[in-house]
Amino acid sequence: MTPLILTISGGPRKDGCSARLLRRFTAGWQAAFIHYDAYECRFAPCSDCRFCREHEGCAIDDMDGFFADFERADGIVFASPVYNMSFPAPMKAVIDRMQRYYSARFFLGQRPPIARFRPAALLLSAGSHDEDGSIVASQLRKIFTVTNCELTCSVIVNNTDRGGCVADKENEIRSAAALFAASVGLITNSSQ
Range of the domain at 148: 4-184
CA distance 154 to 62: 28
- Residue 179: inside a domain: yes
CA distance 38 to 88: 9
Domain count, the chain: 1
Predicted local confidence at residue 10, as pLDDT: 95
- Residue 138: inside a domain: yes
- Residue 133: inside a domain: yes
Instruction: Answer whether residue 182 shows pLDDT above 70.
Output: yes
What CATH number did the domain enclosing 8 receive?
3.40.50.360
Helix (H, G, I), strand (E, B) or coil at 145: helix
Residue 22 and residue 79 in contact, taking contact as beta carbons nearer than 8 Å: yes
- Residue 189: inside a domain: no
Give the side-chain half-sphere CA count within 13 A for 2.
Answer: 9
Residue 9 and residue 21 in contact, taking contact as beta carbons nearer than 8 Å: no
Predicted local confidence at residue 168, as pLDDT: 84
- Decide which of 101 and 186 is more confident: 101
What are the beta bridge partners of residue 77?
Answer: 7, 121
- Residue 190: inside a domain: no
- Residue 87: inside a domain: yes
pLDDT tier, 164 (very low <50, low <70, confident <90, very high otherwise): confident
pLDDT digits (tens, 9 = 90+) for 70-82: 999 999 999 999 9
Give pTM, 2 decimals: 0.92
